[in-house]
Chain A
């Protein structure tokens, strides 16, 4: 059982709120949902679409075609009217869509204006009709309306009833609940990153607004007071990362959140973090570039940028969450590994992951143990002398916090000796480079190998992906295998460091490797070839700013076969 509902209107018509109401109502009914927000970068007009999928199993991908289309404007009918599955229903503002079978046209704007004096409730009228067609329990929707509209729920509840009354009975039968209250959570990738930061003990966030990095900033700004997180909006991204480094030096678990353009400005600070071996977590929400690019769309164009950004050579942890669930745990892990190895950790998400809703098992912060990675005052007291950058077998030096003891904690952006004092002694320089780079090998042991589905790869065509394409790839491989059982889905979560020898051994089993990425270059493919010599047979690219759907991948593979 699967249904796709698409709500489409102009910016300013509240489509996002309608989508939120719908996903919450379905979630409350015990169903798995996925909600994808697709919008133009403009304040008014333009396209705003919210695509809701519901099914009896977890979903992490969106769809091209809908079973129920709710349209508020003729433009949206032109954009989406052709993308319907057989037997689809349409609920439309009168005049927005032509008459036809299974087309329910309502004077929603007029009703909202005349009966409620609130033209903005137009969408809720249409939603009321759609909810009845879907066979939703009205009380689940009413509760969701209350949650989303808060104090303004009153007229919206009336609007909902006006729509409900005007729809025929259910066109579908929804499945029975698949989970009970409290077992699962509904959240976006952006919320998951923010929640992961709270769970990991983040104490400081500095950021500058940039879509799609902003939701994490806003999430923490709204909760900072309650959870004891200092949230500072800086005057630009250069300041943001350097503030975070200052906080981290002083002992706070610190984070920044941004997108490609802002990350570009942070790059010098990133390199500084590498040099002064100070942990910092960078959430990098990708959108299409170069430059301002497509501000509100999605992409996976920054893999190589995130990996190589920063002058000089230093280790980093780079990881790409696949779903809101993994976004939560990987954010926690990024904080842990940044602290443990005194390196910058980059969380690579994208607009699709940050803005999309999904249903995940209830989160368990206990799954990522948090440890203290700095010397205690007692330990420091026992030390005769303290060297911030003491050479060790792992390259990780004992980290003291300034002011915690009588010892001086020196850090310097210039090359320095074991104490942190500037040096131009070239032997020491060599030792310091080696010490810093040594950390990478140990860090690699903590990273995950790619997930392989089905477990046995031998003789299969491996579809390789990373990050938010996870759901689309998995569904595509399942669908392809139903036709001919010869495909596999190989998904990278950790992107640096990677245990390449093991990856090579694994992938050599495959008949062929195809990369599926939201970029033109095939960036993971390039990296794979560089590190293992394995050359992908093909790259399925998507760089139009939209997320992959399962059918995109299935069709492209069929075409190739």
Chain B
């Protein structure tokens, strides 16, 4: 497993994602990208659809990418990486290339859960050999914080505003990790920016498998979540501790929860630190809504425990 030392050494040797981008101060995206890229030893080719990461890392004459990188339209990162991978395989077959090259997508939740979902599902089903990393910040940040299907219930977004009747987003978030797992691909995981070594381990494990691999990374966004700039890691940690964002893997259909919080931290602890949920603590219905959110967190956690029990790795 890659230790911090190994990750640091790799970065020293040949940095893959550099500073000089214009992501917000305190944004979690660069930490995730660097960790993922450093956890892969082979050469990589990266595709990124439109979104904060793309816009902020690639403005000529600067670029943060020290690896081959392609920006594509918003809805088709998985389709483009499929094409790149297929071309690579063809070259390999013809003996025109012999290096082992890895293919990685970094895409936002909008570009993954919503508009890019069809392309993703198609690529998973066709079985291309690539790693898809969703930088899940739970909204469309690049276009000014609109809701996505990853946005949690009751979070405020410009298109799920807090009104007299409507308390932010009315719907539950989509459980994309499980939907991807249902494709029966070799490797699926959830990770969080607060647990970077766990993320690196997951990437390393994932890369042992041939075929599609998917990691959904909770990637906190101080701007959209309306939290202090220096809080990205704390926010993410609390999401894990409250079981809102379980760290787990589904490897060849086998479930493994990587971290089980010992204490039950109420979801309120997480909600109350974020501006996007502030209204819940002012609204007379707030208590009831928070209870609903808690119930859904519990339901998903219990379900996950059961899945691990039934389909666990058995260690």
Identify the A interface with B (CB < 8 A).
Answer: 12, 41-46, 208-211, 214, 217-218, 221-222, 225-226, 231, 233, 235-236, 261, 265, 291-292, 295
Residues facing A in B131-182 (CB within 8 A) are: 140-144, 146-147, 149, 158-161, 163-166
Q: Which residues of A contact B71 (CB under 8 A)?
A: 292
Distance A474 CA – B114 CA, assembled complex (angstroms)? 44
Q: Is A43 within 8 A of B142, CB to CB? A: yes
Q: Is A45 within 8 A of B73, CB to CB? A: no
Report the minimal beta-carbon distance from B70 to chain A, rounded to whole angstroms.
13
Interface of B is mostly: loop
With A209-B143, A235-B114, A235-B149 given, can you name 20 additional A-B contacts, CB distance below 8 Å?
Answer: A42-B59, A43-B52, A43-B56, A44-B22, A44-B24, A44-B25, A44-B56, A46-B22, A209-B140, A217-B146, A218-B144, A218-B146, A221-B158, A221-B161, A222-B158, A222-B161, A225-B163, A226-B163, A236-B114, A261-B73
B86 CB-CB contact with A under 8 Å: no
Distance A208 CA – B165 CA, assembled complex (angstroms)? 23
Q: Which of the listed residues B52, B114, B147 has the most CB atoms from chain A within 10 Å of its own CB?
A: B114
Q: Is A209 within 8 A of B146, CB to CB? A: yes
Q: Which residues of A contact B65 (CB under 8 A)?
A: none
Q: Is A225 within 8 A of B159, CB to CB? A: no
Q: Is A43 within 8 A of B23, CB to CB? A: yes
Q: Which residues of B contact A41 (CB under 8 A)?
A: 55
Q: Is A221 within 8 A of B159, CB to CB? A: yes
Identify the B interface with A (CB < 8 A).
Answer: 22-25, 50, 52, 55-56, 59, 71, 73-75, 113-115, 117, 140-144, 146-147, 149, 158-161, 163-166, 223
Distance A210 CA – B144 CA, assembled complex (angstroms)? 10
Indicate whether A45 sits within 8 Å of B22 (C-beta atoms), given known contacts A235-B117, A236-B114, A291-B73: yes
Distance A225 CA – B143 CA, assembled complex (angstroms)? 23
Q: Which residues of B contact A233 (CB under 8 A)?
A: 146-147, 159-160
Report the minimal beta-carbon distance from A338 to chain B, rounded to whole angstroms.
24
Report the minimal beta-carbon distance from A211 to chain B, rounded to whole angstroms.
6
Q: Which residues of A contact B159 (CB under 8 A)?
A: 209, 217-218, 221, 231, 233
CB < 8 Å neighbour of B143 from A46, A211, A226, A231: A211
Q: Which residues of B contact A45 (CB under 8 A)?
A: 22
Q: Which residues of B contact A218 (CB under 8 A)?
A: 144, 146, 158-159
Q: Is B50 within 8 A of A292, CB to CB? A: yes
CB < 8 Å neighbour of A209 from B24, B113, B144, B161: B144
Task: Please name the residue on chain B nearest to A41 by beta carbon.
Answer: B55
Q: Which residues of B contact A209 (CB under 8 A)?
A: 140, 143-144, 146, 159
Q: Which of the listed residues A45, A46, A221, A222 has the most CB atoms from chain B within 10 Å of its own CB?
A: A221
CB < 8 Å neighbour of B164 from A12, A42, A225, A291: A225
Q: Which residues of A contact B50 (CB under 8 A)?
A: 292
21 intermolecular pairs with C-beta atoms under 8 Å apart? A12-B24, A42-B22, A42-B56, A44-B23, A44-B56, A209-B140, A209-B144, A209-B146, A210-B143, A214-B144, A221-B158, A221-B159, A222-B161, A225-B163, A233-B147, A233-B159, A233-B160, A235-B114, A291-B73, A292-B50, A292-B74
Report the minimal beta-carbon distance from A477 to chain B, rounded to whole angstroms.
37
Task: Please name the residue on chain B nearest to A12 by beta carbon.
Answer: B24
Q: Which residues of A contact B115 (CB under 8 A)?
A: 208, 235-236
Distance A557 CA – B67 CA, assembled complex (angstroms)? 48
Q: Which residues of B contact A295 (CB under 8 A)?
A: 55
Report the minimal beta-carbon distance from B95 to chain A, rounded to whole angstroms.
35
Distance A292 CA – B161 CA, assembled complex (angstroms)? 27
Distance A214 CA – B24 CA, assembled complex (angstroms)? 22
Task: Please name the residue on chain B nearest to A221 by beta carbon.
Answer: B159
Distance A46 CA – B140 CA, assembled complex (angstroms)? 20
Q: Which residues of B contact A210 (CB under 8 A)?
A: 143
Q: Is A236 within 8 A of B158, CB to CB? A: no
Q: Which residues of B contact A211 (CB under 8 A)?
A: 143
Report the minimal beta-carbon distance from B82 to chain A, rounded to whole angstroms.
19
Q: Which residues of A contact B163 (CB under 8 A)?
A: 222, 225-226
Distance A343 CA – B164 CA, assembled complex (angstroms)? 36
Q: Is A214 within 8 A of B23, CB to CB? A: no
Distance A226 CA – B163 CA, assembled complex (angstroms)? 9
Q: Is B166 within 8 A of A42, CB to CB? A: no
Distance A496 CA – B304 CA, assembled complex (angstroms)? 57
